[in-house]
Amino acid sequence: MTTIPKTMKAWIAIRAGPPQDILQLKPDWPTPAPPTAGEITIKISYAALNPGDAKTMLSRISCRSNSIRGMDFVGEVVQVGPLASTFTASSNVRLGMIVAGTVPTMHLLRGVGVLAQYMLLPADAVVEKPEGLEERVAAGLLGVVGQTNVVMLRASNVKKGDRVLVNGASGGVGCISVLVLSGMGMHVTGVCSGRNEALVRRLGAEEYLKPDGRYIAIEAGPFGIFKLNNWLPVILGGTPRTIKNIFSPPDRASAQEVVKWFENGLIKEIPIDSTFEMDGVLQVNSSK
């Protein structure tokens, strides 16, 4: 088993609040304990940040004091817990493997995050980075962005030839949606800011709509207009379409599906907005 340092560099949330107010870089934070059965230690090479990271920091429920934040990552397996052949047979995790994924919800609530040099996770929470996929790209693609698309595709039951509207088509989730849906033979219309129209069309959108046009939708609430339209029969003003709210925890099976999309050529271009060194985490949050 590889020996790792007793301390590491890590960004620590000292309390709940906006990232720029609560994150502190600690150069000598204790590294995770050695892995137990079914666990692995990962040396983080890239972490991908998304709006969900900032939102979880705002809540005292989801953000413990003195915790490490961040969900999406890629890195090298440097330690494997005992009985690995039994507990990791399904994931085939081995020393030196480059893996990626998203921190499981319960681990995130306990203060385990990716904004550190090392992290301890269950072996069955990760997938192997496929050949040909850059590590810096894998950190985002195989995490929340990719897995969200898998869940949406399952719930929507769309098929080849269908017409699909992607709102926020130039965002992290939206870019992958356009790539995958168009690659599967669907007619994609993208909605995004005008400066990103060329990008969205290049990714596969056949049509483009300006976001500052006429009314499209009202933000959903538990008893808002969306719910009313679901309940009312069409004759009374309801719609013949079902509006679904989707939530899914991080899931290795979903990440594996994203790997298949990449290997099958559905995901060809993956836009990267910015890349920062670890010390520049606050620059990331202040620039979004």
- 161-206 residue pLDDT tens: 999 999 999 999 999 999 999 999 999 999 998 899 999 999 999 9
What pLDDT does residue 149 have?
95
Segment 78-86 shows an average pLDDT of 73
pLDDT for residue 34 is more than 70: yes
Class of the CATH-defined domain 148-250+259-263: alpha beta
Q: Is the pLDDT of residue 243 over 80?
A: no
Q: Is residue 74 within 8 Å of 129, Cβ to Cβ?
A: yes
CA distance 169 to 189: 9
Q: What is the pLDDT of residues 264-274, one digit of tens each?
A: 999 988 888 88
CATH class of 7-129: alpha beta
Q: Looking at the whole model, is its pTM more than 0.75?
A: yes
CATH 3.40.50.720 residue spans of the chain = 148-250+259-263
The pLDDT, as a whole number, for residue 59 is: 85
The pLDDT of residue 217 is above 80:
no
Widest Cα–Cα separation across the chain: 69
- Highest mean predicted confidence (pLDDT) among 59-63, 90-94, 158-162, 239-243: 158-162
Angle at 149 between CA 50 and CA 258, to 5 degrees: 95
Between 249 and 161, the more confident residue is 161
Q: Is the pLDDT of residue 155 over 80?
A: yes
Q: Give the model's pLDDT for residue 232.
A: 59
What's the confidence (pLDDT) of residue 182? 97
Letter string b/e over residues 203-220, b meaning 16 or more CB atoms within 10 A of that residue's CB: bbbeebbeeeeeeeeeee
- For position 22, what pLDDT does the model report? 94
Residue 38 gets the label, from left (phi > 0), alpha (psi -120 to 50) or beta, of left
> For position 19, what pLDDT does the model report?
93
Every domain range in the chain assigned CATH 3.90.180.10:
7-129
Rg over CA atoms, the chain: 20
Among the listed ranges 8-22, 57-71, 151-165, 221-235, which one has the minimum average pLDDT value? 221-235
